[in-house]
Each structure stands twice: as structure tokens, then as C-alpha cells.
Amino acid sequence: MQLFHGYIKEDKFHLHEHEINHCVRVLRKHAGDTIHFITGSGPLYKGHIEVATKQLVSGNFELIEERFGCFDYNLTVAIAPTKQLDRMEWFVEKAVEMGITKIVPILCDHSERRILKPGRLEKIALSATKQSLKGALVSIAPLITFRDFIEGQSVDYIAHCGQGEKHAFKTQISEQNGPITIMIGPEGDFSETEIKLALEKGITPVDLGKSRLRTETAALVAVATLYQRHL
């Protein structure tokens, strides 16, 4: 099934500008054709095209499925963006395919990458959402410092490679209801100060298995753990 990204306005659906060319020029859809589209908020719709020009695709629509391709957990991964951007991009794609609610890029003491443009990540997320047949778009937050992040919201877990007692993430989340937030550190791990701050806030230190994983691999293992939780 080919999915488009659209929006609803005054009882009609409209495709977003970036989808029109593919719909009209590549797939040669025209008035009278039906397409499937998502708005990003969750549902799957069927659209009956009434107008199809180079500037506009719109028409009537019907709701097909309320929570399309939804998953049964709410997972936020706060991750220090990797030095090589393609590693972060891979993570976004894979996390969306499996199912993730929100990605928060965090700026840590040891972060080498200190600037992140969200545009390309959002494009990758949209493409993976459509490809993996989901109705809800993952939210990609603006870059925030580690300290602001743990001050500003409830965080459940910190996955770090340092010393000290840690719990298996898989066991911790096996029976946890409600939203889950886990933080994954940069290439050089969280700093000792950051780990101390997190523990003081009551954030549970977890490990994701015994291999030394790269940042984006650790984040993926966390997502895969939730994805497979109830199988």
C-alpha cells in the first residue's frame, strides 16, 4: 500500500506540497482516483481525488482505521546525536520502523556533535512511517542539554557504561505500564557528573546487554526491547 502525507482542512483532504509531484507526475493520479493517506496524528484515511494539478491534490475522504499501525507502548529515547550524522539517521529510520513515540536529541558533556538540524531527520522519519505503514508520526524534539532535559521532565532510565549497580532494561520494562523514557549517551559515554545528577533525580541506571555498543546501536536495542516486549 502506497501512503501519502496530507492534512484535512474544511472537510477536504489536501496532500502536502512535497507529496504532490510524486502523486500527480510519477504515479499519474487524477480526479476520480483513490489514494491512502495519513496526517501523522494516527489514523489511516482513504481519499477520493477531486482535484489533481501540479499545485494541488484534494478531495473527499473517509476514515479507514483510527490507530493505524500503532504499537502498545509509549517510548521516548533521548539520545546524544552521533558524530557521524548517518548513524543518527539510521537510528531514526529503524526506530520508526519498529515503533517509537518521541526522539529527543540531547547535548551531553562528551558530545562531539553540538549542532543538529532536524529537517533531514524529520524527512527520514516521515518516509519510514509511510514505508512501515503507521499513522502516527514520531516527534523529533529540538536539541536540548542533558541538564535541561532531566530537569524538565520525568526520565525513567539512563543507559551508561560506567561503574555501579545497573539493572537489565529488558527486565525493568517487562511490566511497566505508561510512558517510558530512556537516555543514551554519546560516543564517550555520559560524564561522571551527568551520571551522578541522574541518580540524584532517581533515574534508574540500566544496561542493555554485555557488548560494548555504539550509541545508535544501544538506542536501537532499547527500541527493539520494547518492540518485542509482548511477543
- Of residues 91, 84, 82, 97, the one with CA closest to residue 127: 97
Check residue 212 for interaction with a second copy (CB under 8 A): yes
Pairing state between β 12-15 and 57-65? antiparallel
CB of 147 to a second copy, least distance (A): 29
160 is an interface residue for a second copy by CB under 8 A: no
From 27-35, 106-114, 146-154, 203-211, give the range in contact with a second copy by CB under 8 A.
Answer: 203-211
Q: Does 69 bind a second copy (CB under 8 A)?
A: yes
CB 224 within 8 A of CB 97: no
Give the count of residues interacting with a second copy (CB under 8 A): 30
Region 117-156 residues binding a second copy, contact defined as CB under 8 A: 131-134
**Shortest separation between residue 116's beta carbon and a second copy, angstroms:** 20
Q: Is 2 in the site for a second copy (CB under 8 A)?
A: no
Could you give the string, one character per residue 86-115, with x where binding to a second copy holds by CB under 8 A and - elsewhere? ----x---x--xxx----------------
Q: Which letter, b or e, does each residue of 11-32 get, where b requires 16 or more Cβ atoms within 10 Å of its Cβ?
A: eebbbeeebbeebbeeeebeee
Distances (CA, A) of 8 to 40, 53, 137: 11, 18, 16
Q: Does 214 bind a second copy (CB under 8 A)?
A: yes
Q: Say if CB 193 and CB 162 are below 8 A apart.
A: no
Site membership for a second copy, residue 220 (CB under 8 A) = yes
Torsion of CA 147, 149, 152, 153, to 10 degrees: -130
Chain residues binding a second copy by CB under 8 A are: 69, 71, 90, 94, 97-99, 131-134, 168-171, 208-214, 217, 220-221, 224-225, 227-228, 231
